[in-house]
Structure 1
């Protein structure tokens, strides 16, 4: 039986991804929280609030507090100080101490599990995963599958050439790309084919309705009628890979400190253990939205 771990920077679409796993009866062995959309402490607070608000059994761990080398880059100018745009409501505030170290827990999880039986879903910059590769390579090599929402086979969204999760820690993404892990990449281009608009909003509880509306407002405030769905697409690719078409590729990440910083490029390579999702079935957006509908 596959065991799942989630590494997240805990914005709204991360929460949506976790709820998708929950709806599919998957309880992650651990949820590590990494700096990304917001500083790590804010993301941990979001995770605690989400767990309480939606009755999610999240076993939290402290992931990487900052990128391996670069100056931290957040998405607060787009997503706000909490990393979750809203229409007035917010997650509850839940006090707690800093969770235990994620890399130690990840290594222990992998070493005590059968080789190939563990799947890791990464929804933010790959800082925590790169630390695992560097500090516990024998444990990392036991992974059965790493699914990452990140990178772009085309233009970027946080710079003209780089997607946010790749730009957030290019050095970490480069380390993971070179590690030879069984990596499935759900990139920006794929996610931009999975969208929703006002007419697609499901009937849900007041907090979910508010947060989903705030997420949609990212697009509406920029004159776009539809918003791309990101992290839940990666979660669905984990749960139902048959809904996606993958192509074997070699992933290259630019760590050059110029306008290519964080750029990801993919070259066909049938021998590569890295796969890029190149197509999603037409019904994927509806399946993902249904996760948030009232039962």
Structure 2
């Protein structure tokens, strides 16, 4: 069975790899489109990065730019993690990949309501676009199979001790998504930091095909950048969402009621799981907690081999 998905992202090195692996599995995932949201960098930069990766992969899916920033506060991007471009590591030519100039929320609404099948949304940036959809058109909820997102963390944060970046950027949007009643799978830091490439695995890409060598350039920068945060290996955070949709058995998780903290202060953006036996809030989020790393890595390596062969000169 083919799963219809839409990827909402802010590329980002790990966003790029999530897109790559999704497009490498057309028998399992039908990518209906890609949208962008201000997050890792400005909307202009992340949209350009999405154009670059889609052009590199010779893709043919709609690309639409969404919200420039969070629902309430100004955007705080993270150039220290992904570089000035938001996806440093290789030089791309000026992108020619087309952008569909439409209102994203209205486009989503008609896509959902006109579809005979449900659609899964993959949220791998701040959740602003998805919150706007759910606020503006709550009647679409029955048409959404699930929202599989990268964000949060039960045990710790990364942008602050309590908060993970994607949620911290727009916790008001995350709160809307988590409390929407739509099934949510949360790939937070608890699992994404266990889903990494080693330096040796990154270096192995240099001896493979053309796409692998391009990805090596991206991951070489990403690995070196990650060392400033204490990571010798490179967690591929956003890729967890796509691998989960391809093979949920790669992961282990538990259902928790999760509250997103929107208050000002040190806990803003925290995803707080209610570990009591009878939680008061029943939003029942599937929180991924562990992964089988070897199988996880094999999905990326196999996907790179797919594009190395498909796009060989």
TM-score normalised to the size of structure 2?
A: 0.87
Paired residue for 1:85?
88
Q: Is 1:277 paired with 2:288? A: yes
Give the Cα separation in 1 of the matches to 2:238 and 2:193. Answer: 11
Q: Larger helix proportion, structure 1 or 2? A: 2
Unaligned runs of 5+ in 2: none
Shift, 1:78, TM fit? 2.4
Instruction: Give the secondary structure class of the aligned counterpart of 1:144.
Output: strand
Distance 2:73 2:109 in 1: 25
Q: How does 1:13-162 map to 2 (within 5 A)?
A: 13-25=14-26, 26-86=29-89, 89-94=90-95, 99-114=101-116, 117-162=118-163
Q: How far 1:98 sits from its partner (Å)?
A: 6.7
Tell me the CA shift for residue 285 of structure 1: 3.5
1:251 aligns with 2:258: yes
- Name the residue aligned to 1:289: 300
1:241 matched residue in structure 2: 248
Per-residue CA deviation, residues 231-262 of structure 1 (Å, 9 max, x unaligned), is 11111112211222231111111111111111
Q: Which position in structure 1 is the counterpart of 2:199?
A: 198
1:253-280 Cα distance to aligned partner (Å, 9 max, x none): 1111111111111225796442111221
Residues 68-108 of structure 1, C-alpha deviations (whole Å, 9 max, x = no match): 0122110113222211131xx22232256673221111111
Give the whole-Å Cα distance in 2 for the aligned partners of 1:285 and 1:204: 20
* Alpha-carbon distance in 2 for matches of 1:212, 1:204: 15
Q: Per the alignment, do residues 221 and 256 of structure 1 end up closer, same or farther by CA in structure 2, a change over 3 Å counting?
A: closer
Q: Structure 1 CA distance, aligned partners of 2:33 and 2:184?
A: 19
Count residues in correspondence.
292
Give the whole-Å Cα distance in 2 for the aligned partners of 1:232 and 1:224: 17
CA offset digits 1:149-194 (Å, max 9, x no partner)? 0011111111111000000100000111111110000001110111
Q: What is the root-mean-square deviation in Å for CA atoms of aligned residues?
A: 2.0
Q: Which runs of 5+ in 1 are unaligned?
A: none
SS at match of 1:120: strand
Using the size of structure 1 for normalisation, the TM-score is: 0.92
Alpha-carbon distance change, 29 to 5 in structure 1, aligned in 2, over 3 angstroms: same
For the residues of structure 2 that align with 1:178 and 1:289, how far apart are their CA atoms? 32
Greater Cα shift, 29-38 or 93-102: 93-102
Kindly indicate whether the alpha-carbon contact (under 8 Å) linking 2:4 and 2:32 is maintained by their aligned counterparts in 1: yes
